[in-house]
Amino acid sequence: MQVGIDKMSFFSTDYYIDMVELAKARQAEPDKYLIGIGQTEQAVVPATQDIVTMGANAADQMLTAADRQAIEEVIVATESGVDQSKSAAVYLQRLLGINRYARTIEMKQACYSGTYALMQARDYVTLHPEAKVLVVASDIARYGIATGGEVTQGAGAVAMLVTANPKIAVINQDNVFMSDEIMDFWRPNYSTTAVVDGKFSANVYRDFFKEVWERYQEKNHQTLADFHALVFHLPYTKMGLKALRDVLPEADEDKQAQLMEAFEASRVYNKRIGNLYTGSAYLSLMSLLENDPTLQAGDKLGLFSYGSGAEGEMFSMTLQANYQDGLVANQFADLFNRRQKVSISEYEQMFNDLLFGSEDRELDTSADVAKFVLAGLKDQKRQYIER
């Protein structure tokens, strides 16, 4: 029996900034941001969205009533959790109308935990073929205003439904993974922004990729020639490019050109949304699925997941014939048409306006057109509403 990703859906906010404008405001060369980092736009989060609402808004677009009855686990992967105790998944269960006989859990290991959640889902469905598992990777990447990492911020959520006989891709049982305790990026409980040793983290990412890729090839007797595409965790899109370039010489010229084309397709959306930590590799997968016209049923797609701290994992998927049927039609076109550009000073205000405090607060939700919004904090309880 084959198990994998049956449906995928994405949500990001209705606001963004232009990286040329950010570069100018920070006295940087625009090409550093556009080419050196590989980002053109960045999602900006209003106070009325958080990882719970973004996750609900992503998943709701793809779930049928039958799915909501059949889901046996809801797993949220995030490093922007809104509570140290209660999982975002149990909020999602209620907001999405998922049946009460589902497990709900939240997972954490920097940007990696979406991949663990996906593997837990695959393994559960392999044991229980009638079950469906909802995996949601939702994050707000926050480094701080005028910091080195600011150009690599972003936000959004990817929702994936894992089932037997999936529409999009079968997840193969070929995973290779490694962990090593490293201080390249972390976020202590007292901070709303990440602490990062940026260049070190990029080097650790590359080292992990090379080591995991070598082990993957040895274990599975595969080479680059077996893959249509390698999909990467993209904290910023140049990161994946660096990793891909590290291994490209292993392939012949034609294969190198084809893998580069696939890589370009896989970063179209990430360039415009920015980093979404746990969801970044899966946004990149969606970007590949929607922007690579040469994809064919049976193509093998490799995915490299990395989470600082640090953990890396490589696995492959086999593309299914009607993979487009598992995506929500026009979802990205609609988002990019709908969202509004804000100025750098407006973004700075919004950055400082998110709901982190303990004081009661009522938020004006009238400007937010999303179905699920955060309406404020009352008696220490976050007020999630559906419109």
Spot the catalytic one: 106, 228, 233, 290: 233
Q: Is 240 in the site for ligand COA (CB under 6 A)?
A: no
In one letter, which amino acid is 14? Answer: D
Query: Nearest approach, Cβ of 71 to ligand COA (angstroms)?
Result: 30
Q: State both tokens at 35.
A: 């080419």
Based on CB atoms, which residue is closest to ligand COA, 143 or 384?
A: 143
Based on CB atoms, which residue is closest to ligand COA, 21 or 123?
A: 21
Q: Is 334 in the site for ligand COA (CB under 6 A)?
A: no
Q: State both tokens at 121.
A: 């889902």
Among 120, 308, 320, 331, binds ligand COA (CB under 6 A): 308
Q: In this chain, which stretch among 30-38, 220-228, 292-300, 314-322 interacts with ligand COA, using CB under 6 A? A: 30-38
Q: Is 235 in the site for ligand COA (CB under 6 A)?
A: yes
Spot the catalytic one: 111, 150, 290, 313: 111
Based on CB atoms, which residue is closest to ligand COA, 31 or 362?
A: 31
Q: Is 83 in the site for ligand COA (CB under 6 A)?
A: no
Which helix (H) or strand (E) element contains residue 4?
strand 3-11
Q: Is 198 in the site for ligand COA (CB under 6 A)?
A: yes
Among 10, 306, 315, 351, binds ligand COA (CB under 6 A): 306
Burial class (CB in 10 A: 0-12, 13-18, 19+), 296: exposed
Contact status, residue 315 vs residue 171, Cβ threshold 8 Å:
yes
Q: Is 152 in the site for ligand COA (CB under 6 A)?
A: yes
The set of residues, in sequence order, having a beta carbon less than 8 Å from that of 188 and lying 6+ positions away, is 195
In one letter, which amino acid is 131? Answer: A
Query: Nearest approach, Cβ of 185 to ligand COA (angstroms)?
Result: 5
Distance CA 270, CA 96 (A): 26
Distance CA 188, CA 253 (A): 45
Based on CB atoms, which residue is closest to ligand COA, 36 or 385?
A: 36
Q: Is 36 in the site for ligand COA (CB under 6 A)?
A: yes
Q: In this chain, which stretch among 51-59, 97-105, 129-137, 193-201 interacts with ligand COA, using CB under 6 A? A: 193-201
Q: In this chain, which stretch among 43-51, 148-156, 295-303, 367-375 interacts with ligand COA, using CB under 6 A? A: 148-156
What are the DSSP E strand ranges found in 168-265?
169-171, 176-179, 185-186, 195-196, 229-232
Q: In this chain, which stretch among 67-75, 88-96, 198-206, 354-362 interacts with ligand COA, using CB under 6 A? A: 198-206
In one letter, which amino acid is 193? Answer: T
Distance CA 325, CA 45 (A): 29
Output the DSSP codes for 324-338: GGGBPTTHHHHHHHH
Query: Nearest approach, Cβ of 313 to ligand COA (angstroms)?
Result: 13
Tell me if residue 128 is catalytic.
Answer: no
Query: Nearest approach, Cβ of 267 to ligand COA (angstroms)?
Result: 14
Q: Is 199 in the site for ligand COA (CB under 6 A)?
A: yes
Q: Is 201 in the site for ligand COA (CB under 6 A)?
A: yes
Q: Is 32 in the site for ligand COA (CB under 6 A)?
A: yes
Q: Is 48 in the site for ligand COA (CB under 6 A)?
A: no
Query: 134 φ, ψ to 5°?
Result: -95, 125
The set of residues, in sequence order, having a beta carbon less than 8 Å from that of 326 and lying 6+ positions away, is 5, 6, 7, 8, 166, 167, 168, 320
Q: Is 149 in the site for ligand COA (CB under 6 A)?
A: yes
Tell me if residue 233 is catalytic.
Answer: yes
Burial class (CB in 10 A: 0-12, 13-18, 19+), 337: exposed
Q: Is 196 in the site for ligand COA (CB under 6 A)?
A: yes
C-alpha dist (Å) from residue 233 to 65, 190, 299, 301? 32, 27, 20, 14
Query: 168 φ, ψ to 5°?
Result: -90, -60
Residue count of the chain: 387
Distance CA 205, CA 198 (A): 11
Query: Nearest approach, Cβ of 232 to ligand COA (angstroms)?
Result: 10
Tell me if residue 150 is catalytic.
Answer: no
Distance CA 296, CA 324 (A): 11
Instruction: List, by residue number, the catalytic residues.
Output: 79, 111, 233
Residues that bind ligand COA in the complex, under the rule CB under 6 A: 29, 31-32, 35-37, 111, 148-149, 151-152, 185, 196, 198-199, 201-202, 205, 235-236, 306, 308
